[in-house]
A and B are shown apart, each in its own frame.
Chain A
């Protein structure tokens, strides 16, 4: 066990000696051309060009085919413009979790229409100094539902605002992203997002996501964070706080 820890520490220090590259975040900036990143939980991201980034989750892709494209467009005065465009077909996953017994997130007899979910957003960002990057985002989730039935809502924080459009067509949202350097390799990031429920069960869901990331090198980073979700659900209002962590690999 001691040998494994010693080797891990050596590895981290070896990685630390490299020149720093920017890790992916929620700003308008995309990964450098050819760079790839993946986390234990985070999706695989790939810098297709210096201004174009692709993102898919290698595990979930097989049960929820999806892709997200992030594009850096241009500078607009002192601000920079970017956008993201995503598509997902979640029915395979929903069929898998519609079951009796443990893991039955949805009822076995659920009749779910064919769902085609599109996500588009526009972002404006500005780097004030090394301690503060600021990005504002406006986006829209749009789900086209074909066929009979309805989606049995998953009224759980994080999931509910991202599946609201399954039954209600659209979910507009606004977001703000702040990030920067705390000390050397330690960075912080904050994402605040407001989802607007504009059709049935009208209301709002606010997500605050605060995280710390230690960039050991260009190839290894550790992330811990807290996400707080507060908002309207079919049963009323609820607020919840969840911790999370991830280990990111870049290559």
Chain B
């Protein structure tokens, strides 16, 4: 009988060893997959301001403008620790310059081979005035057996001067056109949501980073899920700010294909598709909530609001990054920190995205 029990135990252990690369983030709960962080030195603001500065920035895993293979400008896959820390230094400097009360970051590596295993979220917390953070993995695997990428844990984060709580990582639909094996090792998009407590007030803060390369309508499904989530928050009478890299152009964008940074046009994995049929996607949000950059301002002139380019020698050529609220942003306080003239610092060397900031009226 003991031997049969031992065999059963053995068999049970066998079956429990699924997901050999530990890539299925969703097998754990929404709360368990939102990881809490805090700065080594907490310095909470002494008084509650009338407005909060909120920002969003895709920091490209601290890769700066190194010529990576996926940009098709070079063949780099892995960085040295010195390179990562040097790039993070520039990112922290820019964050201190923006001085946000809350910032959403995308493409933050916390334990990835490509970024020499530096916990970038902890490093940024320890080298800025931000105190608290939550992290949700977007791409996680013990080993990604493609392009020499290796171990990966990269995702989105919410960083705040004020305490954060009730965090959840909410999964978004996966790209259906991918084969099972590719999907298993691929990015798993999500929303990361938390509650910021600013004095007596609560603010729901939500960040996201939607699919870049799907052609099967997955991104639209993801955007609808995000809309549903914030509609739910608004319906409960709660104030929210949503921000992130939506990988989607606004309506009335003049140039929506054949961008001047298209070095990957011959690579089916990384080529940029025409966004002609997607230009109404962001109306989901623009029709209901207040954006940091008003649509009227964008319609008047697209270029001051561009926040992305893969060509470090060119200029920002499209808008992918957004902030929305069901509260009130201070009029015309939205700013894309493109360079020293628009934002006060040169951000082109720091990431393939420029940070976007806005002031939220609190009282």
Q: What is the interface of chain A, defined by CB distance below 8 A to chain B?
A: 98-110, 152, 154-157, 182-183, 210, 212, 224, 226, 234-236, 238, 240-243
Report, nearest first, the 3 A-B pairs whose CB atoms are least far apart: A107-B148, A107-B77, A235-B117
B150 close to chain A: CB less than 8 A: yes
What is the minimal beta-carbon distance from A208 to any residue of chain B, in angstroms?
Answer: 12
With known contacts A155-B151, A241-B13, A242-B20, A102–B146 Cβ distance under 8 A: yes
With known contacts A156-B143, A241-B17, A110–B10 Cβ distance under 8 A: no
Interface mask (B1-38 → A, CB under 8 Å = 1, otherwise 0): 00100010010011111001010000000000000000
**Bound form: Cα–Cα A224–B14 in Å:** 9
**A104 x B145 contact (CB < 8 A):** yes
**Bound form: Cα–Cα A238–B182 in Å:** 24
- Residues of the B chain whose Cβ atoms lie less than 8 Å from the Cβ of A182: 3
B78 close to chain A: CB less than 8 A: yes
How would you classify the secondary structure of chain B's contact residues: helix, strand, loop or mixed?
A: mixed
- Residues of the B chain whose Cβ atoms lie less than 8 Å from the Cβ of A155: 113, 143, 150-151
Contact of B148 (CB < 8 Å), options: A104, A226, A235, A236: A104
The residue in chain B whose Cβ has the minimal distance to the Cβ of A98 is B148
With known contacts A98-B148, A103-B145, A108-B148, A226–B77 Cβ distance under 8 A: no
Interface mask (B104-147 → A, CB under 8 Å = 1, otherwise 0): 00000001010001000000000000000000000000110111
What is the minimal beta-carbon distance from B356 to any residue of chain A, in angstroms?
Answer: 31
**B147 x A243 contact (CB < 8 A):** no
B177 close to chain A: CB less than 8 A: no
With known contacts A235-B111, A242-B20, A226–B10 Cβ distance under 8 A: yes
**Bound form: Cα–Cα A154–B10 in Å:** 29
**Bound form: Cα–Cα A24–B78 in Å:** 42
- Residues of the B chain whose Cβ atoms lie less than 8 Å from the Cβ of A104: 145-149
- Residues of the A chain whose Cβ atoms lie less than 8 Å from the Cβ of B150: 105, 152, 154-155
**A103 x B146 contact (CB < 8 A):** yes
The residue in chain A whose Cβ has the minimal distance to the Cβ of B75 is A109
**A240 x B142 contact (CB < 8 A):** yes
- Residues of the A chain whose Cβ atoms lie less than 8 Å from the Cβ of B111: 235-236
B238 close to chain A: CB less than 8 A: no
What is the minimal beta-carbon distance from B139 to any residue of chain A, in angstroms?
Answer: 15
The residue in chain A whose Cβ has the minimal distance to the Cβ of B116 is A234
With known contacts A100-B69, A182-B3, A226–B147 Cβ distance under 8 A: no
What is the minimal beta-carbon distance from A249 to any residue of chain B, in angstroms?
Answer: 23
What is the minimal beta-carbon distance from A69 to any residue of chain B, in angstroms?
Answer: 32
What is the minimal beta-carbon distance from B267 to any residue of chain A, in angstroms?
Answer: 9
**B151 x A235 contact (CB < 8 A):** yes
**A108 x B10 contact (CB < 8 A):** no
Beyond contacts A100-B147, A107-B147, A224-B14: 15 other A-B pairs, Cβ-Cβ < 8 A, are A98-B148, A99-B148, A104-B145, A104-B147, A104-B148, A107-B77, A108-B148, A152-B150, A155-B150, A235-B111, A240-B22, A240-B142, A242-B20, A243-B14, A243-B15
In chain B between 31 and 82, which residues have their CB closer than 8 angstroms to a CB of chain A? 69, 75-78
In chain B between 236 and 281, which residues have their CB closer than 8 angstroms to a CB of chain A? 269
**Bound form: Cα–Cα A210–B150 in Å:** 28
What is the minimal beta-carbon distance from B128 to any residue of chain A, in angstroms?
Answer: 23
10 contacts between A and B (CB under 8 A): A101-B147, A102-B145, A105-B145, A107-B77, A107-B78, A110-B148, A154-B150, A224-B14, A235-B151, A243-B14
- Residues of the A chain whose Cβ atoms lie less than 8 Å from the Cβ of B147: 100-101, 104, 107-108
- Residues of the A chain whose Cβ atoms lie less than 8 Å from the Cβ of B117: 234-236
Contact of A243 (CB < 8 Å), options: B13, B69, B151: B13
**A243 x B142 contact (CB < 8 A):** no
The residue in chain A whose Cβ has the minimal distance to the Cβ of B118 is A235
Contact of A154 (CB < 8 Å), options: B7, B14, B143, B269: B143
The residue in chain B whose Cβ has the minimal distance to the Cβ of A100 is B147
The residue in chain B whose Cβ has the minimal distance to the Cβ of A182 is B3
Interface core residue of B7, B113, B143, B148 (most chain A CB under 10 Å): B148
**Bound form: Cα–Cα A238–B17 in Å:** 15
**A212 x B17 contact (CB < 8 A):** no
The residue in chain B whose Cβ has the minimal distance to the Cβ of A110 is B148
- Residues of the B chain whose Cβ atoms lie less than 8 Å from the Cβ of A98: 148
What is the minimal beta-carbon distance from A103 to any residue of chain B, in angstroms?
Answer: 6
What is the minimal beta-carbon distance from A246 to any residue of chain B, in angstroms?
Answer: 13
Interface core residue of B7, B15, B113 (most chain A CB under 10 Å): B113
What is the minimal beta-carbon distance from A181 to any residue of chain B, in angstroms?
Answer: 12
Interface core residue of A103, A107, A154, A241 (most chain B CB under 10 Å): A107
With known contacts A100-B69, A155-B113, A212-B10, A243–B143 Cβ distance under 8 A: no
